[in-house]
C-alpha cells in the first residue's frame, strides 16, 4: 500500500511548524522549567487559534494522520505542556477540554500527570473510572520542562472506555519522538558542517557521515510505521501497530540523541546549549505512555496470536 498525506494535511502541519519556528521555543521551554508558565500559555493560545487544540474533538473532522503530522511538529520544536493529554487523550474520553490546559494520570503506564500544577483541569483515569483530581507530590523528571506529579481523585467518577484514548496517547507520543529525532539530526548535520577539525569540517569524515546516515535511516524506517499506525487506529490491529510505531520512533529518536551528543562533543553536555532541551525530552519520552518492554511485549503477543 502506498500512502501520502493529502496536500491540505501537509499545509496545516507546515503552518504549525512556521508558527513554532517564530515562537523561540527554547525560551518558552526554559521559562516553563523555571516555573513560569506565561510564555508557554501564550504559545498554547496561539496554537489554539491555529486549530491545533481542536484536532482531538469528534466534530473537528480531523483524522489520526492530522494528529500525527501536528505532533511531529510539536516534537520537532520540543514544545512543553500536556498537549498529548489535552488534544489526543481527554477528548477521546469524552472530556470537553476546549482551549484549557488539561492533563491526567492513567496508571500503570502513565502513573504521573504532566504539568498538573500549571493545568486548569486535572484527571485521574483508574482502569475504567475517570475522575477529577488534584496534584499531590511533584516528581523530578530528567527533563526539567516536564513537571510530573502524582494526583488524587477529588470528584465523582464516570465509567469510560480507556482503550482507544490510550492508543491515541501512545501514537501522539511516538509522533513527538519522531519530530524530536528529526530536529536532532538537522542540528547534528548543521553542526558537522560548521565545526572544523584538522582543517576540515567534521562532517567530511567518514565515521561521522556513517553515524548521521544511520540516524536518517532509522527515522525513515520509523515514519511508515507511525503513519501505518495512524491509519489502523480504529482497526483490530491498532494495539500492535501503535506499539510497533512507538518502539521504532523511540529507538530512532534515542539513536539521534546519542549521535547528536557524539557529533557535538563536550558542548552537547552543557545545559546552557539548546541541544540539551531536545536531548532530555527524548530521554523522558522513552518511557512515556508505556515502556519499550511493554510495547515489545504487545507486538510479540499480537504476532503469536496471529500465528
* 132-166: pLDDT as tens digits: 999 999 998 999 999 999 999 998 899 999 999 99
Question: Which residue shows C-alpha cell 510505521?
Answer: 225
| Interaxial angle between packed helices 275-285 and 163-194, expressed in degrees from 0 to 180 and rounded to the nearest 10 | 150
Please state, in angstroms and rounded to a whole number, the distance separating the CA atoms of residues 179 and 250.
11
What is the reported pTM?
A: 0.95
The pLDDT assigned to 203 comes to 61
Nearest in space to 179 (alpha carbons), one of 97, 98, 67, 43 = 67
> What residues in the chain have per-residue pLDDT under 50?
none
Q: Measured between alpha carbons, how far is residue 52 from residues 26, 38, 140 in Å?
A: 20, 19, 28
Residue 284 near residue 253, CB atoms below 8 Å: no
Looking at residue 277, its pLDDT comes to 96
pLDDT, residue 224, reads: 95
At residue 32's C-alpha, the angle toward residues 164 and 51, to 5°, is: 50
3-state helix, strand and coil shares in percent for the chain, rounded to the nearest 5:
60, 15, 25
Amino acid at each position: 500500500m502506498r500512502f501520502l498525506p493529502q496536500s491540505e494535511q501537509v499545509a496545516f502541519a507546515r503552518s504549525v511548524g512556521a508558527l513554532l519556528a517564530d515562537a523561540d521555543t527554547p525560551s518558552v521551554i526554559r521559562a516553563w522549567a523555571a516555573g513560569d508558565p506565561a510564555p508557554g500559555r501564550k504559545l498554547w493560545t496561539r496554537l489554539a487559534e491555529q486549530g491545533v487544540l481542536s484536532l482531538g474533538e469528534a466534530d473537528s473532522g480531523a483524522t489520526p494522520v492530522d494528529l500525527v503530522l501536528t505532533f511531529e511538529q510539536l516534537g520537532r520544536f520540543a514544545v512543553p505542556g500536556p498537549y498529548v493529554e489535552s488534544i489526543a487523550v481527554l477528548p477521546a474520553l469524552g472530556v470537553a477540554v476546549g482551549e484549557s490546559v488539561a492533563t491526567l494520570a492513567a496508571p500503570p503506564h502513565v502513573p504521573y500527570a504532566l504539568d498538573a500544577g500549571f493545568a486548569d483541569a486535572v484527571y485521574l483515569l483508574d482502569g475504567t473510572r475517570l475522575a477529577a483530581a488534584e496534584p499531590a507530590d511533584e516528581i523530578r523528571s530528567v527533563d526539567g520542562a516536564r513537571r510530573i506529579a502524582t494526583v488524587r481523585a477529588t470528584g465523582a467518577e464516570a465509567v469510560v472506555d480507556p482503550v482507544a484514548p490510550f492508543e491515541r496517547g501512545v501514537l501522539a507520543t511516538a509522533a513527538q519522538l519522531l519530530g524530536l529525532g528529526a530536529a536532532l539530526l538537522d542540528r547534528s548535520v548543521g553542526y558537522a558542517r560548521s565545526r572544523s577539525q584538522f582543517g576540515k569540517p567534521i562532517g567530511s569524515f567518514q565515521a561521522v557521515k556513517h553515524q548521521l546516515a544511520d540516524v536518517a535511516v532509522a527515522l525513515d524506517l520509523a515514519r511508515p510505521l507511525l503513519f501505518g499506525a495512524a491509519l489502523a487506529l480504529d482497526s483490530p490491529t491498532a494495539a500492535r501497530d501503535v506499539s510497533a510505531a512507538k518502539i521504532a520512533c523511540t529507538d530512532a529518536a534515542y539513536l539521534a540523541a546519542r549521535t547528536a551528543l557524539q557529533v557535538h562533543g563536550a558542548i552537547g553536555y552543557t545545559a546552557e546549549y539548546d541541544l540539551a532541551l531536545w536531548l532530555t525530552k527524548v530521554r523522558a519520552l522513552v518511557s512515556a505512555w508505556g515502556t519499550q518492554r511493554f510495547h515489545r511485549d504487545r507486538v510479540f503477543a499480537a504476532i503469536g496470536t496471529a500465528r
